[in-house]
């Protein structure tokens, strides 16, 4: 896909997750190496849900989102690079939110509830540099309701895709966003794509970014290569992962939030192949602010959630820029081939 085609495809894509009433987004990108974190804030609280499909997740505070558990509303979701170390960034988000007076009233204090998930980007640059509490704090301080930056920023800064045949054949991933509005209700997604598999256009099935051929200048098409019998390279569990947040301003219950997280993975399956592998920790959160004051049937909401997830995943690679690390690893972007 050349640069002009990418520009045309991006121009057709819908808006951002911040079109959802009550949602703000902030990024922090560490300039010392490609890594960072992103936060989705709901200051007034939002009904939360989560669904973990990958076999190697790195998460925090996911159990409280189960429909049968006590807490109904959370105040932010934190997405970060840095593998399990990156979960520390959520502590910084909690501190910032507490300073703003945001959180659950527990009588003695206001306790911000911030579920989090991380992706593995330690193979891109100096692995000793990863998001920490200061990074999470900075992401919150930068948050706004403006359309967030996409590509090589925040949790997508060190993301890459197409690693089935080794990092030497991978391409640059990133973070993307999209939204759709129906009957006055908006559903939006923010997706950090660090998939083991390829990213494909959900409308055409064409491979957009992923594993490259031996020459490095063409796409291999991982699905077809595996079906031809080409052998994948050994991959450490958890060294990949696509994570994200799907938000809506519809009025929903906690059980409905959970169901939206479940069906949002359909969007990942339309845009990533293979997906939900033993080496991915694919995790999607949902937030329902209810700020539109409207309800919408679950059939429509589920369709919207899967759609924006697929489009945001595609945008994550379309907006990415190619990089070469200090140790010579070349990760081209979709427009570079």
For 228, the enclosing helix (H) or strand (E) is helix 222-228
Q: What is the pLDDT of residue 77?
A: 98
Phi, psi of 187 (to 5 degrees): -125, 130
Average pLDDT over residues 214-236: 90
pLDDT tens by residue, 107-147 = 999 999 999 999 999 999 999 999 999 999 999 999 999 99
Q: What is the pLDDT of residue 14?
A: 75
pLDDT tens by residue, 195-209 = 999 999 999 999 999
- The percent of residues above 70 in pLDDT, for the chain, comes to 96
Residue 155 pLDDT exceeds 70 = yes
Average pLDDT over residues 18-42: 97
What does the DSSP 8-state code read for residue 156? G
Residues 6+ apart with CB under 8 A from 326: 125, 126
What does the DSSP 8-state code read for residue 281? -
Residue 17 · residue 179 · CB < 8 Å: yes
Is the Cα torsion angle 62, 63, 66, 71 positive or negative in sign? Answer: negative
- The percent of residues above 90 in pLDDT, for the chain, comes to 86
Q: What is the pLDDT of residue 11?
A: 65
Residue 288 or 7, more confident: 288
Q: What is the pLDDT of residue 79?
A: 98
Q: Tell me the pTM.
A: 0.95
Q: Name the nearest CA neighbour of 180 among 191, 188, 190, 170.
A: 188
Residue 234 pLDDT exceeds 70 = yes
Residue 12 pLDDT exceeds 70 = no
In whole angstroms, what is the distance from residue 299 CA to residue 142 CA?
35
Most confident range (mean pLDDT) of 11-15, 230-234, 262-266 is 262-266
What's the mean pLDDT when you consider all of the chain? 94
Predicted confidence band of residue 238 (pLDDT cuts 50, 70, 90): low
Q: What is the pLDDT of residue 144?
A: 98
**Around Cβ 111, how many Cβ atoms within 10 Å?**
16
CATH tag, 3-21+40-76+159-336: 3.60.70.12
pLDDT tens by residue, 274-324 = 999 988 989 999 999 999 999 999 999 999 999 999 999 999 999 999 999
């Amino acid at each position: 896909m050349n640069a002009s085609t990418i520009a045309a495809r991006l121009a057709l894509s819908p808006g951002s997750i911040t079109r959802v009433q009550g949602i703000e987004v902030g990024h922090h990108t560490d300039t010392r190496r490609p890594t960072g974190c992103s936060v989705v804030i709901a200051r007034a609280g939002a009904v939360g849900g989560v669904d973990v499909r990958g076999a190697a997740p790195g998460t925090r505070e996911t159990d409280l989102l189960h429909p049968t558990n006590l807490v109904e509303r959370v105040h932010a979701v934190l997405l970060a690079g840095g593998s399990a170390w990156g979960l520390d960034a959520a502590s910084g988000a909690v501190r910032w939110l507490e300073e703003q007076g945001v959180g659950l009233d527990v009588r003695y204090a206001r306790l911000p509830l911030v579920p989090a998930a991380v992706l593995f980007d330690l193979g891109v640059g100096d692995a000793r540099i990863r998001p920490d509490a200061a990074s999470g704090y900075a992401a919150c301080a930068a948050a706004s309701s403006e359309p967030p930056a996409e590509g090589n920023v925040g949790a997508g800064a060190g993301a890459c895709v197409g690693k089935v045949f080794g990092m030497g054949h991978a391409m640059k991933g990133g973070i993307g966003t999209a939204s759709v509005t129906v009957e006055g209700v908006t559903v939006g997604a923010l997706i950090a794509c660090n998939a083991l598999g390829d990213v494909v256009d959900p409308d055409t099935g064409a491979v957009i970014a992923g594993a490259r051929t031996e020459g490095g200048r063409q796409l291999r098409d991982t699905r077809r290569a595996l079906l031809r019998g080409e052998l994948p390279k050994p991959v450490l569990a958890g060294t990949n992962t696509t994570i994200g947040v799907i938000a809506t301003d519809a009025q929903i219950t906690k059980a409905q939030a959970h169901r939206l997280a479940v069906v949002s993975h359909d969007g990942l399956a339309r845009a990533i192949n293979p997906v939900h592998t033993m080496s991915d920790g694919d995790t999607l959160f949902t937030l329902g602010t209810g700020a539109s004051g409207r309800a919408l049937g679950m059939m429509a909401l589920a369709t919207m959630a899967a759609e924006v997830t697929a489009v945001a995943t595609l945008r994550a690679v379309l907006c990415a820029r190619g990089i070469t690390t200090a140790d010579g690893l070349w990760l081209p972007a979709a427009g570079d081939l």
